[in-house]
Chain A
């Protein structure tokens, strides 16, 4: 049952990632693309946690934690750039 669920979820996440990519390429505005990147980060977190569940290990937890943190910083920096151009003022 668990392996079926994992396979199903993985497929869904992959589709989500491809759709993110579609939005990233398609745009049309830069905000859309940044949003696509941010969602891609979130899907990556899911993928990594899923991989950890599948392998039965907690070894990948830190990577997911770091993507969560770094993804936020990256997105907020990109947005700040759009707002003010100047990141650190």
Chain B
């Protein structure tokens, strides 16, 4: 089973949980356990490697949403193998390194969890066999890298750097998604297998330029290509293990990977060459030049990374097969020497307390061993012979010479490439000379010394690789490079030689010019620094922040226009729109009245209508005298429930009655904290406008209702009426719909109810509000907080109310009633006790945990639904049967009743959680107003 491809990303995904649990053990144990699952994944990759070396593409896919062409598909070909080895190999070294790098104060578990999450995301990117899936993992790398960069969240530059990285790479990710969708549209499939086979189709399609630009935007932002390169130096605020892993070896290579992956599909056109190679060249030069002037060790390495990424991009842009091979080769080499350099920089920072090259001098004396390692790695970066950087750089120089796409200006490419090489040598030299020689350290916070033994091991391994590849390239890396090239090119791999010595030729000459030039530049650096100092330093971070703040300001202005906090305006806008939308179709309706025979009007209905209308009007007229308005509103509620009863909706009548009283109590609980009198706020003009809108809306709604009710209406009610007894086992159609036909809806609704109640509980917890000492007329409150009469009557009401509640609940399936109404009745009965006796009295006598009630209610309902799975039925299939017991007689049992119990518990819990906690807001020490003040 472990041979499955999916385990390779899945093991690290499981591995994200390991450090969270292991962080309670010692630091070494935590690191060891964390490394376990990724190491197992690496073993799996190595197991599959021989197959891949034979040219096979290992694939595995699962259906996800097959209807939409989505699948969970993984592939392991040469290119994926190369990256998987980099990700897992360097990842494991970084885990070991971070064990010693992180201090006691840092949360190790959190750090490792983020790191392994990133590893999973990165594996997903390189192994995806589906473009949408690739994009999803792509975004996950952005998010997990955000978490890693902002790991030291107390530092402002860490937060800002992380935000910048997320914004740039996230925006690029959106562009990539658009590009991927277009590709899917052209090819008709998101499967990489199909896409890679339809290169010609895409290149000849009219949308090709758009696709190319969108995909490249994604790649360039991720791989820090000019002009999006500026986020990478700011991401250096991350802990150094993160920089070593993400910003040298893996994440920034994701953009390169994407270009290599889409190489057979998108490359080979004039447009590809122009955009990719020119961007690469610009990035190469800019990065190399700026790197020289950075005083911060990691800043130097960051710009150097930018420059090397530009070099790889330039190689990919050239479009020749050999250049692509060179690009892949440089990916490996850059990952090894840059990761080791970052680790060395981290060691220096860790052991000396500074990363500033103006302070760090002469460290050779203090840490000769680390210095040797760092110097070898830096030499590889500079392209010194016998090291891996030399080989790929020579291939690069050779390729620039064969370039003729720029016509008669083609000579510029090798010249610029050499110039880039010159600066690359110069900054490498600066890294070596400034840090390890050049006098004595200046004002270092700590006396530098060698790091712990095992902190050096990852650096040693990587530097050894640099040397091995540099001396025995074919033996060490030949097979891997060949299969990766074959997978990238999707065709024949050209002849190339990985030898160290190719005789005296032009590339060798360029290498030597670069070395000599670099030394010359470094020796004369003082002049160059002075020259550079003339330019004002423009920090891209400030520009970026300014843009972000400008966007924020514009949005805020727009929001203030649309959303100014005035409820009147919202209802004005919403109702006006609704009025237009509703009135429009009415214009096409010829006759208002339909042909349905009308019921004769009787005196009682007229009385009800008069009461309803006057109650509603009174509510509006007295809207500033809140208590009076509340009483008038209660009249409306009462009449509405009478109407429900009259027009054959007894269930609704019961619900309306219960909801009505709960609402009135809720309103009064809130009213207490509001000013007792309301000032007149609306201008006469506004009142006139609102009256006009209200009248028209009322007219429109009235017309619609009249038109609807005078026409015969065919609806699905007949189905429910016919199937209620046979299908749901109950004669009360409303209840059967709630607990059976539409049970899933009800389950969702009670869940929402529970969440809302918990939300309100959370909102009002610990809230302290102003409490008025007197009522609206200035009379002080009565001193008798719990009148005896009320207490006695209320107490005797409780058992009666509970009995009614139980009765309504039990008969609900066949007669008007059910869990919802019963729940409300129970709540009202309990609230009455709160009103009559107060919180303290209740607390001593009734121990009800309302949160627990909500939880158990939803659980019971959900379990009832799940129960039907045991009988091989779909979720929430209900069951009922009739039984006979002596004394009791014939009765019915239905699973719906258990479901209804869940509804009941949730309703009681939610209502009580809201009302009781709103009531508890008032504390015992409230201001007392003396009677004769």
Physical interaction between A and B? yes
Contact with A along B649-679 (1 / 0, CB 8 A): 0100110011011001100110110000000
Cα distance, A50 to B461, chains bound together (Å): 95
Cα distance, A21 to B329, chains bound together (Å): 91
Residue B828 at the A interface, CB < 8 A?
Answer: yes
Q: A30-B628, A69-B804, A70-B660 are in contact. List 18 more A-B contacts (CB 8 A).
A: A21-B611, A24-B631, A30-B631, A34-B631, A36-B631, A40-B611, A60-B645, A67-B641, A69-B797, A69-B825, A70-B661, A73-B665, A78-B631, A80-B835, A83-B782, A86-B919, A88-B669, A88-B835
Contacts of A82 in B (CB 8 A): 627, 775
A63 touches B645 (CB 8 A): yes
Among B631, B816, B828, B926, chain A packs the most CB atoms within 10 A around the CB of B631
Among B611, B785, B835, chain A packs the most CB atoms within 10 A around the CB of B835
Q: Which chain A residues in 1-26 approach chain B with CB under 8 Å?
A: 10-11, 14, 17-18, 21, 24-25
Q: Which chain B residues in 510-536 approach chain A with CB under 8 Å?
A: none
* Contact A87/B919 with A60-B650, A66-B657, A74-B664 known, Cβ cut-off 8 Å: yes
Cα distance, A65 to B59, chains bound together (Å): 70
In the assembled complex, how far is the CB of residue A35 from the closest CB belonging to chain B, in whole angstroms? 10
Other-chain contact of B838, A17, A60, A74, A89 (Cβ < 8 Å)? A89
B919 touches A88 (CB 8 A): yes
Cα distance, A18 to B607, chains bound together (Å): 7
Cα distance, A63 to B839, chains bound together (Å): 30
Other-chain contact of A88, B603, B661, B816, B834 (Cβ < 8 Å)? B834
A70 touches B657 (CB 8 A): yes
Contacts of B782 in A (CB 8 A): 83-84
* Contact A74/B634 with A63-B657, A66-B657, A89-B785 known, Cβ cut-off 8 Å: yes
A-B contact pairs, 5 of them (CB 8 A): A11-B603, A24-B631, A36-B631, A62-B808, A70-B828
**Which A residues contact B (CB, under 8 angstroms)?**
10-11, 14, 17-18, 21, 24-25, 27, 30, 33-34, 36-37, 40-41, 44, 47-48, 51, 59-60, 62-63, 65-67, 69-70, 72-74, 76-89
In the assembled complex, how far is the CB of residue B156 from the closest CB belonging to chain A, in whole angstroms? 46
Name A33's closest neighbour in chain B (CB-CB). Answer: B631
Cα distance, A38 to B657, chains bound together (Å): 14
Contacts of B817 in A (CB 8 A): 62
B920 touches A88 (CB 8 A): yes
Contacts of B664 in A (CB 8 A): 74, 77-78
Q: Which chain B residues in 667-715 approach chain A with CB under 8 Å?
A: 668-669, 671-672
Cα distance, A88 to B645, chains bound together (Å): 32
* Contact A62/B654 with A17-B611, A48-B645, A77-B668 known, Cβ cut-off 8 Å: yes
Cα distance, A21 to B638, chains bound together (Å): 12
Contacts of B924 in A (CB 8 A): 89
Cα distance, A88 to B794, chains bound together (Å): 14
Cα distance, A81 to B635, chains bound together (Å): 18
Residue B781 at the A interface, CB < 8 A?
Answer: yes
Contact with A along B199-236 (1 / 0, CB 8 A): 00000000000000000000000000000000000000
* Contact A88/B916 with A37-B635, A63-B650, A82-B775 known, Cβ cut-off 8 Å: yes
B775 touches A85 (CB 8 A): yes
Cα distance, A34 to B634, chains bound together (Å): 10
A88 touches B915 (CB 8 A): yes
B614 touches A21 (CB 8 A): yes
Cα distance, A67 to B650, chains bound together (Å): 13
Cα distance, A59 to B731, chains bound together (Å): 13
Other-chain contact of B665, A59, A67, A77 (Cβ < 8 Å)? A77
Contacts of B794 in A (CB 8 A): 76
A73 touches B775 (CB 8 A): no
Cα distance, A84 to B342, chains bound together (Å): 71
Name A16's closest neighbour in chain B (CB-CB). Answer: B607
Name B611's closest neighbour in chain A (CB-CB). Answer: A21
B832 touches A76 (CB 8 A): yes
B916 touches A47 (CB 8 A): no
Cα distance, A4 to B800, chains bound together (Å): 35
Contacts of B661 in A (CB 8 A): 70, 73-74, 77
Majority SS of interface residues in chain A? helix
B658 touches A66 (CB 8 A): yes
B607 touches A17 (CB 8 A): yes
Cα distance, A51 to B669, chains bound together (Å): 35
In the assembled complex, how far is the CB of residue B477 from the closest CB belonging to chain A, in whole angstroms? 76
Other-chain contact of A67, B638, B831, B838 (Cβ < 8 Å)? B638
Name B634's closest neighbour in chain A (CB-CB). Answer: A37
Cα distance, A48 to B839, chains bound together (Å): 36
* Contact A80/B790 with A47-B604, A87-B665 known, Cβ cut-off 8 Å: yes
A10 touches B838 (CB 8 A): no
Other-chain contact of A21, B630, B635, B646, B804 (Cβ < 8 Å)? B635
Q: How many interface residues does chain B have, given as a range?
A: 35 or more
Contacts of B920 in A (CB 8 A): 88
**Which B residues contact A (CB, under 8 angstroms)?**
603-604, 607, 610-611, 614-615, 618, 627-628, 630-632, 634-635, 638, 641-642, 645-646, 650, 653-654, 657-658, 660-661, 664-665, 668-669, 671-672, 771-772, 775, 781-782, 784-785, 787, 790, 793-794, 797, 800-801, 804, 808, 815-817, 825, 828, 831-832, 834-836, 838-839, 915-916, 918-920, 922, 924, 926
A73 touches B832 (CB 8 A): yes
Contacts of B645 in A (CB 8 A): 48, 51, 60, 63
Contacts of A17 in B (CB 8 A): 607, 611
A62 touches B650 (CB 8 A): yes
In the assembled complex, how far is the CB of residue B452 from the closest CB belonging to chain A, in whole angstroms? 63
B603 touches A87 (CB 8 A): no
Other-chain contact of A85, B604, B781, B834, B835 (Cβ < 8 Å)? B781
Cα distance, A88 to B618, chains bound together (Å): 28
Cα distance, A84 to B773, chains bound together (Å): 9
Contacts of A10 in B (CB 8 A): 603-604
B835 touches A77 (CB 8 A): yes
In the assembled complex, how far is the CB of residue A58 from the closest CB belonging to chain B, in whole angstroms? 10
Contacts of B772 in A (CB 8 A): 85
Cα distance, A51 to B661, chains bound together (Å): 23
Cα distance, A33 to B801, chains bound together (Å): 26
B816 touches A59 (CB 8 A): yes
Name A34's closest neighbour in chain B (CB-CB). Answer: B631
Cα distance, A18 to B630, chains bound together (Å): 19
B610 touches A44 (CB 8 A): no
Contacts of A74 in B (CB 8 A): 634, 660-661, 664-665
In the assembled complex, how far is the CB of residue B781 from the closest CB belonging to chain A, in whole angstroms? 5
A72 touches B627 (CB 8 A): no
For the complex of A and B, the 5 pairs showing the least CB-CB separation, nearest first, are A88-B919, A14-B607, A83-B782, A70-B661, A88-B834
A63 touches B669 (CB 8 A): no
In the assembled complex, how far is the CB of residue B609 from the closest CB belonging to chain A, in whole angstroms? 11
Contacts of B638 in A (CB 8 A): 37, 40-41, 44, 67
* Contact A86/B631 with A14-B603, A73-B832, A81-B672 known, Cβ cut-off 8 Å: no
Name A86's closest neighbour in chain B (CB-CB). Answer: B922
A83 touches B784 (CB 8 A): yes
Cα distance, A74 to B627, chains bound together (Å): 13
A81 touches B668 (CB 8 A): yes
B654 touches A25 (CB 8 A): no
In the assembled complex, how far is the CB of residue A51 from the closest CB belonging to chain B, in whole angstroms? 7
Contacts of A14 in B (CB 8 A): 603-604, 607
Among A17, A66, A67, chain B packs the most CB atoms within 10 A around the CB of A66
Contacts of A88 in B (CB 8 A): 669, 831, 834-835, 838-839, 915-916, 918-920, 922
Contacts of B784 in A (CB 8 A): 83
Contacts of A24 in B (CB 8 A): 615, 618, 631-632, 635
In the assembled complex, how far is the CB of residue B209 from the closest CB belonging to chain A, in whole angstroms? 69
Cα distance, A18 to B618, chains bound together (Å): 14
Contacts of A11 in B (CB 8 A): 603
A76 touches B781 (CB 8 A): no
Cα distance, A46 to B642, chains bound together (Å): 11
Contacts of A62 in B (CB 8 A): 650, 654, 808, 816-817
Name B606's closest neighbour in chain A (CB-CB). Answer: A14
Contacts of B607 in A (CB 8 A): 14, 17-18
